[in-house]
Structure 1
Amino acid sequence: MRKTLSTLAMLATLAACPALAQTTVTGKPAPDASTSEKSGGQQAVTRPNTDRPDANNPATTGTASRAKLEEGSNSFTEAQTRKRLEDAGYKEVKDLKKNDKGIWQGTAMLDGKPVTVGVDFKGNVAVQ
């Protein structure tokens, strides 16, 4: 009986070991909201980019042009897309239409200049 209990305990321990070994971390977390490009973080994580202009900091305007929009099934409504663009510092957002790749596109004003903008299914904002 004692041998059976020891064997069962050992089997239970061995069965739990592979589950512990399956966790893999790549890159470092971005607690300061740095971009995944800078942090080397996981590429498959779905989160909006931080490469968009900040309405309170006009010096960040040029960073939006480097953001890459990704194709995918987009569930944002037109109102949500407009709010995201306005929160990113764009004014007079109009003509928003979702294309066949799931990217919302439209026109807006940024620093008094007209620009073509886009928002992907992750919420990434970019000048196109």
Structure 2
Amino acid sequence: MKNIILAAAVLMGTAAAPLFAQTAGNTPAIATPGTENPTAPVPGENSFTEDQARERMEKAGYTGIKGLKLDDQGIWRATATKNGRSVPIALDFQGNVVAL
């Protein structure tokens, strides 16, 4: 009986291992407020419209957004002002808004 319980435990443990391996270290498709991907901006197919990109940048505290363009890597790029400074910024497909 002990052997059957031990075998069942081993099988259950090895069956769950691939699930953990697939999720460990992955970044969500869309960034959640208060989280940042340290490798942002991440290239990828971007589904944000220009208006959505502008809105997300504004919610991140940027104003005076100029020259907003989607580049060939799927990253929205612009110049904006934050804390009195003009800086280049980017929005990736995950929703990360970063100053460059």
TM-score normalised by structure 2 residue count: 0.71
Distance 1:47 1:82 in 2: 16
Extract structure 1 runs of 4+ deviating beyond 4 A: none
**Counterpart of 1:48 in 2: which secondary structure?**
coil
2:28 is aligned to 45
Aligned sequence identity (%) = 36
Tell which has more relative contact order, 1 or 2 (C-alpha 8 A, sep 6+): 2
Determine which structure has the larger strand proportion and give its number. Answer: 2
Largest Rg, 1 or 2? 1
Amino acid of the residue matched to residue 25 of structure 2?
Q
**Counterpart of 2:68 in 1: which secondary structure?**
strand
Distance 2:39 2:15 in 1: 35
Distance 1:85 1:78 in 2: 11
Kept after mapping to 2: 8 A contact 1:97/1:106: yes
Distance 2:27 2:50 in 1: 25
Distance 1:112 1:45 in 2: 32
Distance 1:88 1:121 in 2: 15
2:62 is aligned to 90
Distance 2:20 2:87 in 1: 39
**Counterpart of 2:16 in 1: which secondary structure?**
coil
**1:13-92 mapped onto 2 (5 Å cutoff):** 21-22=15-16, 24-25=19-20, 42-48=25-31, 50-51=35-36, 68-92=40-64
Report the alpha carbon displacement of residue 22 of structure 1 after superposing the two structures with TM: 3.3
2:4 is aligned to none
Kept after mapping to 2: 8 A contact 1:67/1:124: no
TM-score normalised by structure 1 residue count: 0.56
Q: How many residues align?
A: 85
Q: Tell me, which stretches of 5 or more residues in structure 2 are unaligned?
A: 1-7
Report the alpha carbon displacement of residue 42 of structure 1 after superposing the two structures with TM: 2.8
